[in-house]
Amino acid sequence: MNKMLAFPKDFWWGSAWSAEQAEGRGETGKAETNWEHWFKTEPNRFYEGVGPEITTDHIHRYKEDIQLLKETGHNSFRISISWARMFPNGGVGEVNDKAISFYRDVLTELNKNDIKPFVNLFHFDMPYALEEKGGWTSREVVEAYVTFARTCFHEFGDLVYHWFTFNEPLGPILGGYLENFHYPNVVDFKKGAQAAFNTILAHAKAIKAFKELNLTSKIGVILNLSPTYPRSQNKQDLEAASIADAFYVRSFLDPMVKGTFPKKLVDILKNYNQMPSYEEVDLKIIAENTSQILGLNYYEPRRVQARLTKINEQGPFLPEWFFELHDMPGKRMNIYRGWEIYEKGIYDLCIDIRDNYDNIEAFISENGMGVANETRFMNNDNQVNDSYRIDFIKDHLAYVHKAIQEGCRIKGYHLWTFIDCWSWINAYKNRYGLVSLDLKSQERTIKKSGEFYKKMSLANGFEY
């Protein structure tokens, strides 16, 4: 028999998206972003040649959209603030009054509707002029980011519930400096390590600036943390998994939450001459300014085995010198996105945070299922009958519920995403929303999952 899974009082039911993926250019003035620039120079990299200018057009429709947030049961919602909109002169200089008005309007409207605004500062997009200066490898960019952050705290601090410095800081490092799915798309580990270090420093400096303002909200970071599973319990596989975990999980989690760097990772970087440059004072700033709240993005696990094939150590240094990904037979896939579906991963992740990170206050900040050609599942009323997404949400939430029962401080669940929105490189291929979007008419229609989400939020739980 089904039983009711009830969540703690005031649980945050919501979803997330980002400025570049949802807003559209609008008329406020905005610097060219790294993504806009990349699209201009290499449009063929983007699915069906669709770039970031074709969006959900939230900038013109935010009032209507906030009503849809209500209708889909949101009591909280994460947006990001566009750095390029706030500082249209290449990310520095005069702040843009029109951008301030736009974001203040959105945040006021959210509060008026009892939807707690969660605001993130960096979600992959930066003014292209700063990217040209070296992006995150440049100290100048770190300082420009801290000015951007301080300006946002100052202008919007009275309207924001919780702040986040970065969304998935690993993404731009992996994609930009190792794996070719993010600007500047080069293969250069050492540059990537420098960009990662500077990102961690920027996070700490933004927290320092935040604390100086004595706001009542909290500030933290949103990390994509795929739990790492070894193929077997043999020594070589365990060691391979532990190295992969150091590169991809502890690399940001440790410094951004604990203020320290994982020894295993530092030792490898030293041995292979891949250390970034830094000053002693940076380490002090990082140690003293850690996250007060942690967002957990979870999509799929990372399965790892010891290297079977020998690596050419003459080529550029790569984390994969030390492990291989393991293609586990029988794993369940979301074939559209090519990601494994493994619900228990979300539970293992929560337990890791409980046991190894002082049980810091946390929430699931992204989790979701991207599906191609969703119009296939439309009924006669143009409504997408996405029962697969409802099952996906329930199966993951059941594990979140179990983690909470076992003492994890998980305060909410945010789905990726609200209305189908543009995605990095994949454009509109995979749809994730609770609300579907007709790209031509811009018409929004609540999917079955949106109706379910409202019911679940009102009941503060669901039958399972």
Active site residues: 168, 366
Q: Is 46 in the site for ligand BGP (CB under 6 A)?
A: no
Which helix (H) or strand (E) is 219 found in, with range?
strand 218-224
Nearer CB in complex with ligand BGP: 289/449: 449
CA distance 445 to 382: 7
Q: Closest distance between ligand BGP and the C-beta of residue 298, in Å?
A: 10
Instruction: Report which residue's Cβ sits closest to ligand BGP.
Output: 423
Give 75 or 167: the residue with its C-beta nearer to ligand BGP.
Answer: 167
Between 240 and 434, name the residue whose CB sits nearer to ligand BGP.
434
Pick the stretch among 96-104, 135-143, 163-171, 206-214 that binds ligand BGP (CB under 6 A).
Answer: 163-171
Contacting residues for 233 by C-beta, under 8 A, at least 6 apart: none
Question: Per rule CB under 6 A, is residue 416 in the interface with ligand BGP?
Answer: yes
CB-CB neighbours of 158 under 10 Å: 13
- In the complex, minimum distance from the CB of residue 49 to ligand BGP, in angstroms, rounded to a whole number: 17
430 contacts ligand BGP (rule: CB under 6 A) = yes
Which CB atom, from 7 or from 122, has the smaller least distance to ligand BGP? Answer: 122
Q: Among all chains, which residue has been given the structure tokens 């070589």?
A: 236
Does 168 bind ligand BGP (CB under 6 A)? Our answer is yes
Task: Kindly report whether the peptide bond that precedes residue 52 is cis, defined as omega within 30 degrees of 0.
Answer: no
Is 167 a binding residue for ligand BGP by CB under 6 A? The answer is yes
x/- mask, ligand BGP, residues 283-322, rule CB under 6 A, reads ----------------------------------------
Q: Number of C-alpha atoms within 13 angstroms, CB side, residue 202?
A: 29
Which of 426, 442, 445, 460 lies at the binding interface for ligand BGP (CB under 6 A)? 426
Q: Judged by CB under 6 A, does residue 423 bind ligand BGP?
A: yes
Closest CB to ligand BGP among residues 107, 223: 223
Site membership for ligand BGP, residue 18 (CB under 6 A) = yes
Q: Give the three-state DSSP class for 15.
A: strand
Q: How many whole angstroms separate alpha carbon 66 and alpha carbon 14?
A: 12
Do residues 129 and 119 make contact, with C-beta atoms less than 8 angstroms apart? no
- Report the nearest approach of ligand BGP to the CB of residue 443 (Å): 22
Distance separating alpha carbons of residues 286 and 165, to the nearest angstrom: 13
Count CB-CB contacts under 10 A for residue 335.
Answer: 10
Nearest CB to ligand BGP, comparing residues 46 and 102: 46
Start-end of H helices in 136-249 = 139-156, 170-174, 189-212, 235-245
Structure tokens at 200: 């961690």
HSE of 121, CA atoms in CB hemisphere, 13 A:
28
For tokens 């979701």, name the residue.
368
In whole angstroms, the minimum distance from the beta carbon of 430 to ligand BGP comes to: 5
Shortest approach of ligand BGP to residue 20 CB, angstroms? Answer: 9
Contact residues: ligand BGP, CB under 6 A: 18, 21, 167-168, 171, 224, 337, 366, 370, 416, 423-424, 426, 430
